[in-house]
Every structure is written in structure tokens, then in C-alpha cells.
């Protein structure tokens, strides 16, 4: 296939260039809007980039099919085989389905880009903000479609406030049914899970401090993180400040004894070992120590500084546990928070808290729909 890239001020002009050089049989492989900035970003110029290709097919007749003569003798119907079976390889069928699916996606992309070509620059810049926040493509498409409809029906340009309101409306539809909010106080044992480096121990201290200071609860700590001495000392420091007991457990018997010691407490926070939970053996180690019964409320802690694909691998490993909600940490250490919304929607999990600093107990927010929507637009878009 011969392929070439064309750039023009509009889709129509780009298509003219494609047809004039590659002909009517050309196929559009990809198209996108390209915005270039000049004069320190004060002047912006919009172009459309189209990648097109065409197959060169030899038009000469094949020698395998000679011209039929007038005296050609045809086979009589009675001489045809009675049963003829045509076998189509499954791999060929799957490949054909894949190609059809790719063509559909390509067509949808072209239709979406054609819509975008009709949008003014301020809307394109808003959509670019959504992309920089790493919001999922499906969510961006849904928001873009709403922006397109409002643009078509509006006689004046859409302001940033209106575009933000439209985007929030789409997110509300996706998030409204998910459980949001912190501890329920209906279960005694608060099990906090997550990989190494996400800030589990500090997050537990923030949650526990709120229970003591705001709810006047009697609390205790259990830690299974016997791999890092510093982690145990850190938890003991927080426990001393809150005047709460700590038990370090190495196996299931230790865990059961700690449960019995804490029988008179209101809440018990369980700090699990930070390990590489992409490996199933560490999940099995957890199951051997902790009793995941109906008295346990479990949360999965993830850091927003991690790659989305890595977080998905962690979530899948913890699928067999009854994870109630996510807790996202290090919101203050990243410029893009779209991953938080992507994972909640994709895995149908709510959010308990998100943390935005190291201060205990200040830098933690209990999730609700309003602050989640405001959080998304606190970046450079403002």
C-alpha cells in the first residue's frame, strides 16, 4: 500500500489533495486536528492532518482465465458433485472480523474528526485539556459530542464556565451511582490494602486520627508489614500520638490473638505489608494471615503517580477480595488526575478518600460528588 500524509486548512481541501494524487480508491487511515502556536503562544493556527493510502492493483487480465470461445463445452448440471463442502479457516474469519472492526473504528474516528473540524478553537483547547488530564477516550468523546450539540444550537461562543458545566454533566451521569464517602462505622475492622510506595501507613494514620478527634472512637492498629522495620516504627509513632495500641502479627495465630486483645475497641485499622501485588503469591500470603470475614471493611489504596496500566494490574489481582472503595493518594504530586475517574467508572468502584499531602491528619479529603467534580477543573484550565 502506498501511503502519504497531507496537511491543509480544512478537511475538504485535504480530501482534494488526496483524490488528486491517489485517486478515488484512496482510503483515509487517520486524521486529526493540529494546532500550532506562534509568537509565544499568543497566535494559534489550526490545520488538519490526513494520512491516506491506496493499493496498486495490476489491471492486466490473468492468463489463468482465457477468453471463452463460442464452442466451449459446459458441464451439465447432472455431472456436478452431489455434495460440495467449502471450508473456511477460522483464523481467516477472525482476521476478517478484526479488519471490519478496525474499519468501523476508523470510520468513527473520521466522523469524530469531521465534527471536531467544525468546532471553534476555544472548544478544541478545552478538549485538549481533557486529554492532558488523561481522561478515558470514551469519556472525552461523550463530552465532545455534548459540546458539539451545544455549539450547533448556540448563537454565541461557549464560555469556559459553560463548557465546564457540560463536562461535569457527563461525569455526573457516570459517577452518580457509585458509592462515595469515608468509613461507614458499621464494621469494626478496617483493612487497608495496596502495593508498596502508595502511602498506606500515612493514609491509615489520617483516617484513624479523624476517628479519634471527630468521632471520639477507641481505636487500635494491627500491622502485617514485618518486612520493613521503618514501617512498624512509623505506625507506632502515630499510635503513640493517638494513644492507641499496636499489634505486630507474623502469621494467622498472631492475627487471631490481636483480634482477641482488641475486643473492647470500636475500630481496628489493619496495615498490610506493601508488596508487589502484581505477583499472585503475595496475595496468597495475605489470605493466610488475615481473616476476610463480614466484619472487615476493605479499601484498596492506589497512587495517582503510577501508570494507569500498572494500577489496573493491581486491581485485577485484588478482584477476589471484597474491595468496597478505592483510596487515591498523591493527588498533589501529579498534573493529571483523569485516571482516578477512569478506574472508578471502569471497575464500578466508589471512592472513600483522596490525599493531597503528607500532613496528618489534614491532607485527606472524604470523597463526594461535588469535590470530585471541582477537583478535576483545578488544573491549568482555570
Residues 237 and 204 in one domain: yes
Please check whether residue 47 lies inside any domain of the structure.
yes
- Tell whether omega for the bond before 362 is within 30 degrees of 0, i.e. cis: no
Question: What is the SS3 assignment for 88?
Answer: coil
Residues 320 and 273 in one domain: yes
Question: What is the SS3 assignment for 185?
Answer: coil
* Arithmetic mean of pLDDT, 56-80: 49
CA distances for 136 relative to 170, 283, 290, 345, angstroms: 13, 29, 35, 10
Residues 170 and 203 in one domain: no
Domain range for 243: 189-376
The span from the CA of 200 to the CA of 180, in Å, is 19
Residues 257 and 364 in one domain: yes
The model's confidence at residue 19, banded by pLDDT at 50, 70 and 90, is confident
Terminal CA-CA length for the chain: 46
Residues 209 and 283 in one domain: yes
DSSP codes, 315-360 = HHHTTTS-EEEEEEE-GGG-S--HHHHHHHHHHT-EEEEEE-SS-T
Cβ-proximal residues to 30 (8 Å cutoff; 6+ apart), any chain: 50, 51, 106, 109
Please check whether residue 79 lies inside any domain of the structure.
no
Q: Which of 206, 205, 211 is nearest to 187 (CA)?
A: 211
Residue 96 has pLDDT above 80, yes or no: no
For the chain, what is the domain count? 3
Please check whether residue 116 lies inside any domain of the structure.
no
pTM exceeds 0.85 for this model: no
Please check whether residue 19 lies inside any domain of the structure.
yes
CATH number, residue 343: 3.40.50.300
The model's confidence at residue 149, banded by pLDDT at 50, 70 and 90, is confident
The span from the CA of 348 to the CA of 364, in Å, is 22
More confident residue, 357 or 88: 357
Please check whether residue 171 lies inside any domain of the structure.
yes
The span from the CA of 158 to the CA of 169, in Å, is 15
CA distances for 265 relative to 97, 187, 216, angstroms: 60, 12, 12
Residue 352 has pLDDT above 80, yes or no: yes
State pLDDT tens for residues 217-261. 999 999 887 766 677 888 899 999 999 999 998 888 998 999 999
Please check whether residue 106 lies inside any domain of the structure.
no
Residues 155 and 210 in one domain: no
Residues 314 and 372 in one domain: yes
Kindly report which listed range (5-14, 29-38, 252-261, 304-313) carries the lowest average pLDDT score: 29-38
Residues 242 and 303 in one domain: yes
What was the pLDDT predicted at 213?
Answer: 92
Residue 312 has pLDDT above 60, yes or no: yes
CB atoms within 10 A of CB 111: 10
Residues 169 and 196 in one domain: no
Please check whether residue 105 lies inside any domain of the structure.
no
What was the pLDDT predicted at 189?
Answer: 93
* Arithmetic mean of pLDDT, 13-17: 80
Residues 254 and 357 in one domain: yes
What was the pLDDT predicted at 29?
Answer: 76
Residues 161 and 263 in one domain: no
Amino acid at each position: 500500500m502506498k501511503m502519504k500524509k497531507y496537511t491543509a486548512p480544512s478537511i475538504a481541501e485535504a480530501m482534494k489533495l488526496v483524490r488528486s494524487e491517489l485517486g478515488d480508491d484512496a482510503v483515509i487511515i487517520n486524521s486529526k486536528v493540529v494546532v500550532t502556536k506562534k509568537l509565544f503562544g499568543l497566535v494559534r493556527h489550526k490545520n488538519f492532518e490526513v494520512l491516506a493510502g491506496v493499493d496498486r492493483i495490476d489491471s492486466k487480465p490473468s492468463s489463468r482465465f482465457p477468453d471463452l470461445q463460442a464452442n466451449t463445452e459446459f458441464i451439465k448440471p447432472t455431472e456436478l458433485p452431489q455434495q460440495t463442502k467449502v471450508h473456511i479457516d477460522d483464523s481467516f474469519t477472525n482476521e476478517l472480523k478484526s479488519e471490519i472492526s478496525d474499519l468501523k473504528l476508523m470510520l468513527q474516528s473520521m466522523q469524530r474528526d469531521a465534527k471536531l473540524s467544525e468546532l471553534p478553537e476555544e472548544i478544541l483547547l478545552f478538549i485538549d485539556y481533557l486529554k492532558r488530564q488523561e481522561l478515558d477516550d470514551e469519556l472525552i468523546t461523550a463530552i465532545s459530542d455534548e459540546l458539539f450539540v451545544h455549539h450547533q444550537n448556540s448563537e454565541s461562543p461557549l464560555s469556559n464556565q459553560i463548557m465546564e458545566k457540560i463536562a461535569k454533566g457527563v461525569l455526573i451521569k457516570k459517577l452518580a451511582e457509585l458509592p462515595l464517602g469515608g468509613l461507614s462505622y458499621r464494621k469494626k475492622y478496617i483493612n487497608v490494602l495496596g502495593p508498596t510506595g502508595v502511602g498506606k501507613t500515612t493514609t491509615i494514620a489520617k483516617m484513624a486520627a479523624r476517628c479519634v478527634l471527630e468521632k471520639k472512637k477507641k481505636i487500635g492498629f494491627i500491622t502485617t508489614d514485618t518486612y520493613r522495620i521503618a514501617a512498624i516504627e512509623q505506625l507506632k509513632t502515630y499510635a503513640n500520638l493517638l494513644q492507641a495500641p499496636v499489634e505486630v502479627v507474623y502469621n494467622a495465630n498472631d492475627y487471631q490473638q490481636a483480634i482477641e486483645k482488641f475486643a473492647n475497641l470500636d475500630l481496628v485499622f489493619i496495615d498490610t505489608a506493601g508488596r508487589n501485588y502484581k505477583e499472585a503469591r503475595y496475595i496468597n500470603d495475605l489470605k493466610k494471615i488475615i481473616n476476610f470475614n463480614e466484619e472487615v471493611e476493605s479499601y484498596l489504596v492506589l497512587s495517582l503517580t503510577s501508570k494507569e496500566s500498572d494500577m489496573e494490574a493491581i486491581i485485577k489481582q485484588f478482584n477476589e477480595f471484597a474491595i468496597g472503595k478505592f483510596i487515591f493518594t498523591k493527588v498533589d504530586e501529579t498534573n493529571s488526575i483523569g485516571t482516578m475517574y477512569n478506574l472508578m467508572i471502569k471497575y464500578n468502584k466508589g471512592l472513600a478518600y483522596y490525599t493531597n499531602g503528607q500532613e496528618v491528619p489534614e491532607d485527606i479529603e472524604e470523597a463526594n460528588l461535588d469535590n470530585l467534580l471541582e477537583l478535576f477543573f483545578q488544573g491549568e484550565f482555570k
